[in-house]
Amino acid sequence: MKKKRKPREFRPGSVAYACLIYLFLYLPIFVVIAFSFNSSKMNIVFEEFTVEWYFKMFDNRQLMDSFVNTVIVAGVSTILSVIIGTLCALGLYRFEFKLKNAISSSLYIPIVIPELVFAIALLSFFSALHVSMSMVTLIIAHVTFSMPFVVITVRARLAGFDRSIEEAARDLGANGFRTFWRVTLPMIAPGVISGGMLALTMSLDDVVVSFFTAGPESTTLPLKILGMVRKGVSPDVNALSTLMIVGTIAILLTSNFIQERLERKL
C-alpha cells in the first residue's frame, strides 16, 4: 500500500515571504492603475477619482499613433517570428547536416549578448546597406530578436515528440502538408503558442532596439513614453497602460485556455 503523504505544515514566514515577493512585483502595476483614475495632472498625489483620462487619451494623437505603431509592429513581428521560428525548429529537429550545432548555438546570441550591442549591430547593418529607418526595419529588428525564443520553445516541445504518429498518418494516405497541418502542428501547438507569447511580450515593451532601428514615422509607445519622461508622464499614459495591462491579461488567459484544450485532446 502506498504511504499517505503528510500534509505540509503551515509556515507563516513562507507566506509572508511570498507576499513580499508578489508585492514587489505587482505594486508598480497597481500604482499605474490607481493613478489612471487620478484627477491630478501631476501624478504625485492622488486627489479625486475620475475616468476622464480614458476619454482624453483618444485626443492625444501622438500617443495614439505610437500605440497603433506598437500594435502593428508587435503583431506582424510575432506572426513572422512564429512562422520562421517553427519552421527552423522543425528543420533542426528532423534533419542532420553540417554546422547544425553551430547554427543551434548561434540562436542564443541575440538572447545572450547585451541588447545595446545587438541594437548597434542592427543599426550598422542597415546603414551599410543604405536602408532608411522605417517601420520595415523596425519589424525586421523585432523579428530578429524574437524568433530565437520561438525556436527554443518549439524545440523543447519537439523533444518528446513521437514521430511514429507522423508515419502512421503517412501510411493512411496523408501527404506531407496534411500530416503537418492535422498531426504535427496540433501536437506542438502549445510550444508554438508559448513562443508566440514570448515574442509578443518582447516586442511590446522593447525600447533599446526600437530606439536604434525606428524611423521618424514609426515611433512606438515605449519610445514615446521615454521621450515624455523628462517633462512628466501625463495621466492619459497611465490610462492607456491600464488598458494594455487588461488586454495582455486577456490574451494570456486565452492562450492558457487554448493550451489546456489542446493538452486534453492529446
Third-level CATH fold of 64-265 = MetI-like fold (1.10.3720)
What's the Cα-to-Cα distance from 95 to each of 40, 100, 110, 240, rounded to whole Å?
61, 9, 24, 46
Distance CA 221, CA 208 (A): 13
Where are the domains positioned within the chain?
64-265
What pLDDT was estimated at residue 80? 96
Which amino acid, 11?
A: R
Could you tell me if 238 and 63 are in contact, meaning their C-beta atoms sit under 8 angstroms apart? Answer: no
Question: Between helices 135-158 and 61-94, what is the axis angle to 10°?
Answer: 40
pLDDT digits (tens, 9 = 90+) for 241-253: 899 889 888 988 8
Closest CA to 117 of 215, 209, 201, 204: 209
Question: Between helices 221-228 and 235-265, what is the axis angle to 10°?
Answer: 150
* Element spanning 17, H or E: helix 12-35
Spans of the chain, pLDDT less than 70 = 1-10, 265-266
Closest CA to 156 of 103, 101, 200, 194: 194
pTM of the model as a whole = 0.84
What pLDDT was estimated at residue 251? 86
What pLDDT was estimated at residue 1? 46
What pLDDT was estimated at residue 67? 93
Closest CA to 150 of 102, 78, 97: 78
What pLDDT was estimated at residue 144? 93
The C-alpha cell of 141 is what?
529588428
